[in-house]
Amino acid sequence: MFIKIYFGGKPLFLCDEISPDIEHYLHHDDAIFIDEFSTPALRSMIHEMDLPQVHAGILKHPNLKDLQNAFWKKFTVIRAGGGAVWNENDQLLFIHRRGKWDLPKGKLEEGETIEECAIREVMEETGVRNLSITRTLSTTYHTYHESGKHILKESYWFEMKTTGEQDIVPQTEEDIHAIEWLGEQNWDQVMENTFPSIMDVLEEVGKMRNGEIENG
């Protein structure tokens, strides 16, 4: 098993074994591999991932949960919920934020469930109503710096559907300047200008829709 964390566009894999999904990274000169579980090793990997010449990392330990817990302690962790929303025309809802295509999501507020957070954020960022969750998708992880802190964001994704006419309104105070419904045949334009974690979510949604992976 592994957990994939993006540092910008670069993946870091926390793993308990070298699976076929990550094995080929071992052969890249610009990838870092560490199989030592210690505070200096964790700090070293985080430092390496911020270097421009490093493009991937693998941090291996037999107990993935212990590795994750230790790694998480190096960051301020923020949890967020978001949605991949289908309308009745089999089109998915996309937003355009800060020059990139994205899916609507936002931070978990005190007292709400992650599902409530995801629905609220989709509504606030796009104006879409009549939302219901159809299934749980994957969780994505990415890091960034903010106000001198090293942030790790956990984004919990849900597939949703909506019905009826929608009056979509971009939440401009969140730097959203466009919203579009796009059929799967038009996702290429999104894939060319989005974040790696969003590409992972879209790949999962597409495979589910096409029966390539089990729904659930």
- Supply the CATH number for residue 151's domain: 3.90.79.10
Q: What is the pLDDT of residues 60-74, one digit of tens each?
A: 999 999 999 999 999
Cα-flanking dihedrals φ and ψ of residue 154, to 5°?
-100, 115
Q: Which of 72, 105, 128 is the last residue of a domain?
A: 72
pLDDT at 63: 95
Q: What is the pLDDT of residue 214?
A: 63
pTM, two decimals, is: 0.91
Q: Look-up: residue for tokens 């974690």?
A: 197
The average pLDDT across 95-122 equals 96
Total domain count for the chain? 2
Residue 208 has pLDDT above 90, yes or no: no
Rounded Cα–Cα distance for residues 85 and 94 (Å): 8
Which of 25, 43, 72 marks a domain boundary? Answer: 72
Q: Say if 215 falls within a structural domain.
A: no
- The answer to whether 128 and 162 have CB atoms below 8 angstroms apart is yes
Per-residue model confidence as pLDDT tens digits over 145-202:
988 889 999 999 999 999 988 889 899 888 999 999 999 999 999 999 999 999 999 9
Residue 118 and residue 133 in contact, taking contact as beta carbons nearer than 8 Å: yes
Q: Model confidence at 29, in pLDDT bands (50, 70, 90)?
A: confident
Q: Where are the beta strands (DSSP E) in the chain?
A: 2-7, 10-15, 31-34, 56-60, 76-86, 91-97, 100-102, 105-107, 131-146, 149-162, 176-183
